[in-house]
Structure 1
């Protein structure tokens, strides 16, 4: 027998049965029917995701005649009109809501990621101060969550009512994100951290110079979770914000699209451009697209970190 021949042991004798090229069964390429089935499932899922976005985008870019002829969402294009986008951006309420949501998302994400990283790093060190009680408290948050009324009374008693802090502090930290970060930090070799301590590095320097550079993937994914949460949050604004000038875009979207409320003053700005007034449905879909677009633009740059950042860290932890 030549050295290039592959020995295939019998089942139950000497290990798993190997294929023609010495690979395990799960390493063999799938059958034609299996590949076609997987491709069909992926195509159906992709269609279910893309089709609603296609209909929303096309409706937001249609004029009143096309929307009326379609009797609802437009599926066949018949010209492009940007009147709906001109109207929502000429309205000061929507423009201000976009700025509020952008500011809350940026500052809230930075604040939440900083808190989560600090908390997760301290909980990943067995000898940290109050390690077991703090870890128990974080795990307890998976089971018990404070009710709406106690949270509302606490926010009001701290003077955060009708302020932007009420949109950030009540949801500043997530127990799930802390546990995921902690699991990833615990996988970093302890010898690497001990060598840095021998060289005189403090804990903050170790975290900044060693731990965070090795945890870019999981930190990026956690930051995305926080950013999407802040951008889409409307419930805290509905509870704590009375001034409509401080409403985020998600609350404007809920009030106008879900509750069918009319846009406040400022919608007459389109007439100055010489365009016809766009239909109500087109304006609704334009607001939906403005609310969805940031997540669609950011996700492709972060999705490659999901498997490496969260899934691996959670499994190993």
Structure 2
């Protein structure tokens, strides 16, 4: 048997094997794709349906919502609940307070986390492992609510916006993610090169490290902002002045304690108070939608950097 014949048979066998694989692999891929698509559709439904339901409930007839007649699309739609939100004095004030607290937490938290994470990423920092251990220790053990309250009180922060911003200024988890980001993104050789050119540590951080930090800065801004926006517990503990209440605490009072008082709405006749009571549930749905708008608006602008920063900062290193 000639070598050419053997080679031809070998090529045919290889083609049959390859053809078999080409037939087999797409089938397995198709099954896997179908399973993944079904799982993603179910997962998406569990997220989208409650949101659509809340939007529909906020503009539907309250009677249809309470009776269960409305289950997806609005029934007898109206914007009366949203008009009531604008007229209720505590809600716009709480919305502005939440914007102030979220903005302050974003700026202060991102500044401290970025500078601290960069410092911990430097191998020439004396006691770096010790400081890292101290930070990690606070993730497992804390003083508790009463000691924290006493510290805030003794610092004179009670009933001030700083009582909401300062205690949550640093997230240890974000600090560690930021440190890992700098360790994998800013090599030590780049620092040595800049030192040869006469750059100081501060100049290197400002002119070289920070421009490379857009992904992790986006991560910190979004996480600090969303965390502060959704928080109400610190305000419940540290604030007694209702004019400083964030929107989430106002929502809590309305949703859980049922403190919605229609008589506070300016220009309403007493005869309509009973009718406004029926709007209480509809107002709750409208508040949930209003509270969800700022994070939904902010996320698309930082999505690109957010995904990149999370992947580099949490999985590498």
Using the size of structure 1 for normalisation, the TM-score is 0.85
**For 1:67 and 1:280, how far apart are their aligned partners in 2?**
12
In structure 2, the residue matched to 1:316 is 316
Contact 2:117 2:178 in 1 (8 A): yes
Contact 1:93 1:264 in 2 (8 A): no
Does residue 158 of structure 2 align to residue 161 of structure 1?
yes
Deviation at 1:126, TM superposition (A): 1.9
Does residue 121 of structure 2 align to residue 124 of structure 1?
yes
Cα distance change on mapping 1:209 and 1:29 into 2, 3 Å: farther
Tell me the C-alpha RMSD between the 2 structures: 2.9
**For 2:310 and 2:63, how far apart are their aligned partners in 1?**
48
- 1:20-49 CA-partner distances (Å, limit 9, x unpaired): 7999x99x8952221111000000000000
The correspondence for 2:229, drawn from 231, 239, 244, is 231
In structure 2, the residue matched to 1:33 is 31
The correspondence for 1:249, drawn from 247, 251, 254, is 247
Deviation at 1:115, TM superposition (A): 0.3
Does residue 137 of structure 2 align to residue 137 of structure 1?
no
In structure 2, the residue matched to 1:80 is 77
**For 2:20 and 2:211, how far apart are their aligned partners in 1?**
40
In structure 2, the residue matched to 1:296 is 296
**For 1:269 and 1:104, how far apart are their aligned partners in 2?**
31
Deviation at 1:74, TM superposition (A): 4.8
Does residue 96 of structure 2 align to residue 99 of structure 1?
yes
Does residue 134 of structure 2 align to residue 170 of structure 1?
no
In structure 2, the residue matched to 1:55 is 53
- 1:242-281 CA-partner distances (Å, limit 9, x unpaired): 011100011111111123222475324467xx9x746111
Deviation at 1:91, TM superposition (A): 1.5
What runs of 5+ residues in structure 2 fail to find an aligned partner? Answer: 1-6
- Give the secondary-structure state (helix, strand or coil) at the position aligned to 1:171: coil
Contact 1:61 1:282 in 2 (8 A): yes
Cα distance change on mapping 1:19 and 1:130 into 2, 3 Å: farther
**For 1:156 and 1:65, how far apart are their aligned partners in 2?**
46
Does residue 43 of structure 2 align to residue 45 of structure 1?
yes
Contact 1:104 1:230 in 2 (8 A): yes
- 1:171-219 CA-partner distances (Å, limit 9, x unpaired): 1101000000000101122121222222222222222221122121122
Contact 1:88 1:267 in 2 (8 A): no
**For 1:263 and 1:169, how far apart are their aligned partners in 2?**
32
**For 1:109 and 1:252, how far apart are their aligned partners in 2?**
22
Cα distance change on mapping 1:249 and 1:30 into 2, 3 Å: farther
In structure 2, the residue matched to 1:13 is none
**For 1:151 and 1:121, how far apart are their aligned partners in 2?**
27
Residues 185-204 of structure 1 mapped to structure 2, 5 A cutoff: 185-187=182-184, 188-204=186-202
Contact 1:87 1:269 in 2 (8 A): no
Using the size of structure 2 for normalisation, the TM-score is 0.85
**For 2:21 and 2:206, how far apart are their aligned partners in 1?**
46
Q: Which has the larger radius of gyration?
A: 2
Contact 2:177 2:313 in 1 (8 A): yes
The correspondence for 1:220, drawn from 218, 221, 227, is 218
User: Greater helix share, 1 or 2?
Assistant: 2
- 1:215-251 CA-partner distances (Å, limit 9, x unpaired): 2112211211111100011010000000111000111
The correspondence for 1:113, drawn from 94, 110, 114, is 110
Contact 1:94 1:249 in 2 (8 A): yes
Deviation at 1:140, TM superposition (A): 1.3
Cα distance change on mapping 1:264 and 1:236 into 2, 3 Å: farther
**For 2:20 and 2:219, how far apart are their aligned partners in 1?**
38
